[in-house]
């Protein structure tokens, strides 16, 4: 790669690129549910879901989500529990909480209408520079510089850019590319080019509509891209989880010892050290804190689960506590839920698995 900073293309080359990419997109774009009805609301939901998540994973979640919450009003009126239940399994749960916060903000500050300026969109919870620009361009057909991972890779290869090219370079080239009349199509076209043709590994250079403009192809280095950021190392987390059953009901709580597990209501749990902690002793101690007395607990199974970069090992303990007096303070942090429908309250897929396995459902 060149050591000198790459130069932004001039108007003639930019127009040529626009025409080639739009022609290619017209016949090669994927059929995606948010493209069939590109309302600001649907584009926003899709862009948030697509953060750090592949398209094929997002599609079924998006379809379920917009069936349940078809517009801003329904999302703003929803409880966090409902939202987290539909988000369960998609990961990066802060995105779902920020969606709800943003919906409430739009309802309160923008009369329930999705904001149509870049500044206001960028002021919503969970929306950064890229997401704001993408929504503004795609949903409102406004010419914006948009740089995601796909677009950055396309720019890198087209310019045979250096691995240490400053971030500003990519935004300046994207700004020079902007299409004033077909901003929405153009932004999606460049994203699609990166996803389908200019792929991270084994790019399909022979099928590329802008091969004639690609400096890397001319130099036979089309396979080279800047090294990706190193992924965060996976982290093991061990929990003891209690399933305390009393006459067909189970104890659930709002005390979230493992804050990275989503949901307002969870099973009682405690983070432990896999090497140093006596699991049974930790489970008995946790049960005593809840019930006010010591009880016998039985270890049923280990539920393995992955949440973002965490590998969770949930050591599930069960006890029948029908003989215990369970204090349920009004408006408190403990609740008794029907065992047969407890997972309607417990939205985390980790705790759902623990509950269902412990009760042999």
**Reduced 3-state DSSP string for the chain:** CCCCCCCCCCHHHHHHHHHHHHHHHHHHCCCCHHHHCCCHHHHHHHHHHCCCCCHHHHHHHHHHHHHHCCCHHHHHHCCHHHHHHHHCCCCCCHHHHHHHHHHHHHHHHCCCCCCCCHHHHHCCCCCCHHHHHHHHHHHHCCCCCCCCHHHHHHHHHHHCCCCCCCHHHHHHHHHHHCCCCCHHHHHHHHHHHHHHCCCCCCCCHHHCCCHHHCHHHHCCCCCCCCCCCCCCCCEEEEEEEEEEEECCEEEEECCCCCCCCCCCEECCEEEECCCCCCHHHHHHHHHHHHHCCCCCCEEEEEEEEEECCEEEEEEEEEEECCCCCCCCCCCCCEEEEEHHHHHHCECCHHHHHHHHHHCCC
Rounded CA separation 286/241 (Å)? 9
CB 183 within 8 A of CB 141: yes
Nearest to 327 by CA among 271, 270, 251: 251
- Other Cβ atoms closer than 10 A to 135: 28
Rounded CA separation 361/357 (Å)? 6
CB 73 within 8 A of CB 97: no
Rounded CA separation 129/259 (Å)? 27
Q: Which residues are catalytic?
A: 47
- Other Cβ atoms closer than 10 A to 57: 14
């Amino acid at each position: 790669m060149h050591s000198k900073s790459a130069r932004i293309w001039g108007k003639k080359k930019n127009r040529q690129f626009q025409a080639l990419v739009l022609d290619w997109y017209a016949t090669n774009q994927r059929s995606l549910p948010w493209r069939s009805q590109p309302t600001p609301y649907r584009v926003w939901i899709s862009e948030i879901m697509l953060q750090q998540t592949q398209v094929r994973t997002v599609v079924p979640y998006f379809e379920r989500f917009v069936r349940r919450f078809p517009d801003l009003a329904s999302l703003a009126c929803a409880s966090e529990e409902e939202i987290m239940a539909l988000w369960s399994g998609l990961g990066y749960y802060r995105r779902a909480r920020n969606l709800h916060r943003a919906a409430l903000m739009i309802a309160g500050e923008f009369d329930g209408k999705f904001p149509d300026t870049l500044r206001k969109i960028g002021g919503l919870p969970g929306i950064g520079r890229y997401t704001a620009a993408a929504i503004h361009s795609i949903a409102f057909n406004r010419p914006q510089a948009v740089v995601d991972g796909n677009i950055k890779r396309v720019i890198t290869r087209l310019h045979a850019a250096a691995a240490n090219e400053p971030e500003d370079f990519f935004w300046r080239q994207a700004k020079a590319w902007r299409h004033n009349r077909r901003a929405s199509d153009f932004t999606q076209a460049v994203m699609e080019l990166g996803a389908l043709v200019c792929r991270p590994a084994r790019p399909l250079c022979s099928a590329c509509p802008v091969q004639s403009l690609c400096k890397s192809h001319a130099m036979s280095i089309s396979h080279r891209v800047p090294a990706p950021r190193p992924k965060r190392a996976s982290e093991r987390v061990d929990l003891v989880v209690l399933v305390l059953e009393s006459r067909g009901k189970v104890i659930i709580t709002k005390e979230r010892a493992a804050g990275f597990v989503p949901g307002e209501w969870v099973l009682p749990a405690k983070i432990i050290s896999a090497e140093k902690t006596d699991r049974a002793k930790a489970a008995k101690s946790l049960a005593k804190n809840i019930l006010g007395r010591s009880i016998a607990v039985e270890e049923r199974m280990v539920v393995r689960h992955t949440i973002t970069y965490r590998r969770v090992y949930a050591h599930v303990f069960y006890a029948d506590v029908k003989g215990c007096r369970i204090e349920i303070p009004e408006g408190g942090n403990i609740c008794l839920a029907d065992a047969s429908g407890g997972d309607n309250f417990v939205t985390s897929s980790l705790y759902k698995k623990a509950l269902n396995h412990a009760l042999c459902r």
